[in-house]
Amino acid sequence: MIDVITIFVLAIFIGFEVITKVPPTLHTPLMSGSIAISGIAIVGAIISTQAGGSIGTWLGLIAIIFATINVVGGFLVTDRMLKMFKRK
């Protein structure tokens, strides 16, 4: 159980550090990579909800919710950005 919490806290710290270090000019091109990584996180969270105990289930559920929000938001932002470049 302590391993799951340690990995969760490290993932939060590393994710925060990586996101804050990306310059704004590179943020939009990296959106597709972020969506792909969140898709992988959703699959891993689904597996952890089934494999872990009660704490693993709750952390997996929280990870599924946040990763889904990221995927949906990324698709909406990308769609809006692509509409800006279409000819009228």
For residue range 38-49, what is the model confidence (pLDDT) as tens digits?
788 888 888 878
Question: Which amino acid is present at 16?
Answer: F
Percent of the chain clearing pLDDT 90 (strictly above): 0
| Residue 28 scores a pLDDT above 70 | no
Q: What is the mean pLDDT of the chain?
A: 79
What's the whole-model pTM score?
A: 0.57
Q: What is the pLDDT of residues 6-16, one digit of tens each?
A: 888 888 888 88
Q: Considering only residues 26 and 12, tell me which one the structure prediction assigns the higher pLDDT.
A: 12
> What secondary structure letter does DSSP report for 85?
T
Residue-wise DSSP of 22-53: S-HHHHTTTHHHHHHHHHHHHHHHHHHHHHS-
